[in-house]
Amino acid sequence: MDDRFARGSALLDRIHAGGGAALIEALSDIAPDLARYIVEFGFGDVYARPGLSLRDRQLATVAALAALGTAQAQLVAHIEGALAVGVTREEIVEVIIQMALYGGFPAAMNAVDAARTAFAAADARGPATEG
Amino acid sequence: MDDRFARGSALLDRIHAGGGAALIEALSDIAPDLARYIVEFGFGDVYARPGLSLRDRQLATVAALAALGTAQAQLVAHIEGALAVGVTREEIVEVIIQMALYGGFPAAMNAVDAARTAFAAADARGPATEG
Amino acid sequence: MDDRFARGSALLDRIHAGGGAALIEALSDIAPDLARYIVEFGFGDVYARPGLSLRDRQLATVAALAALGTAQAQLVAHIEGALAVGVTREEIVEVIIQMALYGGFPAAMNAVDAARTAFAAADARGPATEG
Amino acid sequence: MDDRFARGSALLDRIHAGGGAALIEALSDIAPDLARYIVEFGFGDVYARPGLSLRDRQLATVAALAALGTAQAQLVAHIEGALAVGVTREEIVEVIIQMALYGGFPAAMNAVDAARTAFAAADARGPATEG
Amino acid sequence: MDDRFARGSALLDRIHAGGGAALIEALSDIAPDLARYIVEFGFGDVYARPGLSLRDRQLATVAALAALGTAQAQLVAHIEGALAVGVTREEIVEVIIQMALYGGFPAAMNAVDAARTAFAAADARGPATEG
Amino acid sequence: MDDRFARGSALLDRIHAGGGAALIEALSDIAPDLARYIVEFGFGDVYARPGLSLRDRQLATVAALAALGTAQAQLVAHIEGALAVGVTREEIVEVIIQMALYGGFPAAMNAVDAARTAFAAADARGPATEG
């Protein structure tokens, strides 16, 4: 279990600078085990798998969350994460536009709002944070 | 308009061998204009955009349809299309497993069924059809 | 309660010829009260309200079920019901095409399949069944 | 009809202290009949049914709204209601964590936010409000 | 393409007074082409089609967005648009109440909030803006 | 890792007689690791947690899958599982009827179909399989 947590935590920090600690902190009052599962299972088991690059994984997650339209805060976080592992801003905008075909235009419009927030956060951190 | 249709039709045939004609045929009795819009707008406008590779676009669509869980037939078709433009079977399985995190495990399980169908169809056509 | 059931049942029969009896029959082995609620509440309370025509109500339901993409059998039934209260086949196709904008193209394509089934059922019953 | 409204109103007040009045008030400017249906049908007909305890009903509703991810305000209200009829805070957290399996991790994370809000509201009212 | 944009832009302005310009402006920093597609395809191609009145199209969109429950801002905008092309406030409330049957009561309650916002915006602009 | 798999497998077999082996078998051609994660994480980590009874967990899952309406096969399996851990048929029907309030009536009707299939499977196995 420690291996899974350590591996997930390292990956989470690479995608979301300092994000592993922040995620655990945010859920710690109510559901600390949910944070642990996200680190161990989500990142330590799934994202850490070989066979698909981290860049492709973040692109896929941005696509899915944009189409679902039910997880705006997480979409912002994963767009920031996508930038950190080498997805370009242009590619993010492209995948969002494409999601209008599968999740509808309102979902794509709301994903543009998420991208605006994520791009501004990346701007605030400086260019070195984009992979 | 002719340009958009021609461009979309060529792209659709590249992704789904013969698929442009089949799609138009399938919708022609009831909603031929919906088929036309898919070709013109979906492929001629959106998929044809530079800024994201066709391979990445198909990966993103597979992710979104797997997470949504409401379009099984289209998921099969897009997995076949993903294979045709260079996504590997391993990458498709990886993105489906990852979607368990965003659409839940039942959605991922149903996407595995879609992959099984798509892989069998690709087997029946022969290895040359995978990009 | 009898009033609500009688009013709902009459309305259900007008929208779906013989449908009230068939619906109650179909759910009677497991959940007869669900059938009763559909008649009493769905039709007796909601559909029976003044302020929106029955024709508009069926059009709205077809739009919603097409966009949701999770209720194919009910979409077929409500397209048949829409025909029975005066929505034309052309109008149904129009609303389905429009739903590509809000539920995505796969949802619209699956709704075309539902329309094909419903139109064939209406053909089998003869032209007098369209309002 | 009066019986259904009275029964639903009493139940609503038991689940959400004063909630029946507040709900009717909140919808009264635009859609008073929607409030009446929630009381009569939702609570007077459905929640009042024997065969499943009120505690189990609230647990089921929390599960469903957490998985759907489209009704954050209602999820907060039903978590408060669950506490009022005997679901413990630990059980609510458990059902939310479990919903990560069916609605995805972002849905579960957002449900944790709803639980935090609901628990704080219950704290503000005092311990006597938990069943 | 210019024809499609001009036709869509005129229609968008009729539905949302000044809305075409505002929409393009709002998306122009990140995804100007998404705005262009909404105008060209959404309005120039789809909404401009004969075979379904603009009033019926707006009613259908309000129904779909209320049932989906994932596009609150767009629901507000389309309720305002519905008022502008002749749907009455009573009809909007009716279609929202009806959507409780297909999208659930929380979705209907949230759509009432959208209607309240849209009606207030229409009040602020004056009665001449309702069709 | 072995502990988690063993614990999950035992739990899965208790809920779905022989189900652990069948699940792994069903996914083994394409995505064996997805089956492993369901056993390890879904059952070994989540379902095995204290703080909520297995009976309550199955009831919650039936509620969520009925409301979502996108996982019919898994809903059948979890209704069978619910019966195996002590949820009664009446309680399952009650939770399904209740889900009409949150997922809409079509979702509840489709869940009744799932219950019919699950009840017939339980009948075929004999009464000893219900907990």
Count of CB atoms situated within 10 Å of the CB of B117:
17
Measured between alpha carbons, how far is D23 from D8 in angstroms, rounded to an integer? 12
Contact D63 F66 (CB under 8 A): no
The predicted structure's pLDDT at residue E73: 95
State the average pLDDT for chain A: 93
Chain D residues touching E102 at Cβ < 8 A = none
Using the beta-carbon criterion (under 8 Å), do D67 and B104 form an inter-chain contact?
A: yes
CA F109 to chain centre: 18
The DSSP element (H or E) to which D116 belongs, if any, is helix D105-125
Spell out the residues 6+ positions from residue F24 whose beta carbon is closer than 8 angstroms to its own: F32, F35, F36, F39
E1-57 pLDDT per residue, tens = 589 999 999 999 999 876 777 888 889 999 999 999 999 999 999 999 999 999 999
Which residues in F lie closer than 8 A to residue C30 (C-beta atoms)?
93, 112, 115-116, 119
- Quick check: F129 pLDDT over 70? no
Which burial class, exposed, middle or buried, applies to F14 when counting CB atoms under 10 A from its CB (0-12, 13-18, 19+)? Answer: middle
Å between B124 CA and nearest CA of chain A: 25
Any chain E CB within 8 A of the CB of C48? no
- State the nearest Cα–Cα gap between C64 and chain E, in angstroms: 4
C-beta atoms of A69 and E71 within 8 A: yes
Q: How far apart are CA F66 and CA D47, in angstroms?
A: 17
Which chains would you list as touching D if contact means 3+ CB atom pairs under 8 Å? A, B, C, E, F
Cβ–Cβ contact B101 with A under 8 A: yes
List the one residue out of E44, E77, E65 whose CA is nearest residue E111: E65
Query: Using the beta-carbon criterion (under 8 Å), do F93 and D61 form an inter-chain contact?
Result: no
Residue E71 has pLDDT above 90, yes or no: yes
Q: Which residue has the tokens 């596009």?
A: E71
Q: Is the ipTM of this complex over 0.90?
A: yes
Name the nearest CA neighbour of E5 among A104, B1, A97: B1
Q: How far apart are CA E58 and CA D107, in angstroms?
A: 30
Please tell me the distance in Å from F26's CA to the nearest CA on chain E.
33
Q: Which positions in chain F touch A46 (Cβ < 8 Å)?
A: 37
- Candidates D122, D96, A35; CA nearest to F52 is D96
Instruction: Name residue, tokens 């994932």.
Output: E70
Q: What is the pLDDT of residue A1?
A: 52
Question: What distance in Å separates the CA atoms of residue C94 and residue C99, rounded to the nearest whole number?
Answer: 9
Determine the average pLDDT of the residues in F100-125.
Answer: 97
Burial of A40 (0-12, 13-18, 19+ CB in 10 A): buried
SS3 B13: helix
Q: If you search the block for the tokens 């279990």, which residue do you land on?
A: A1
F107 in Cβ contact with C70 (< 8 Å): yes
Name which of A105, A110, A112 is nearest E42 (Cβ-Cβ): A105
**Looking at this protein, which amino acid is placed at residue B83?**
L
Question: Å from C67 to nearest chain B CA?
Answer: 10
Q: Which residues of F touch B106 (CB under 8 A)?
A: 65, 70-71, 73-74
Residue type at E93?
Answer: V
pLDDT score recorded for residue E16: 85
Contacts of C108 in chain B (CB under 8 A): 34
> How sure is the predictor about C67, in pLDDT bands with cuts at 50, 70 and 90?
very high
Q: How many residues does chain D have?
A: 131
Choose among B29, B31, B73: nearest Cβ to C97.
B31
pLDDT digit string (tens) for F58-70? Answer: 999 999 999 999 9
Alpha carbon separation from D72 to D78, E122, F115 (Å, rounded)? 10, 27, 28
3-state secondary structure of F58: helix
Mean predicted lDDT score pLDDT of chain F: 93
Count of A–E CB contacts within 8 Å? 45
Q: Which residue has the tokens 């990886």?
A: B94
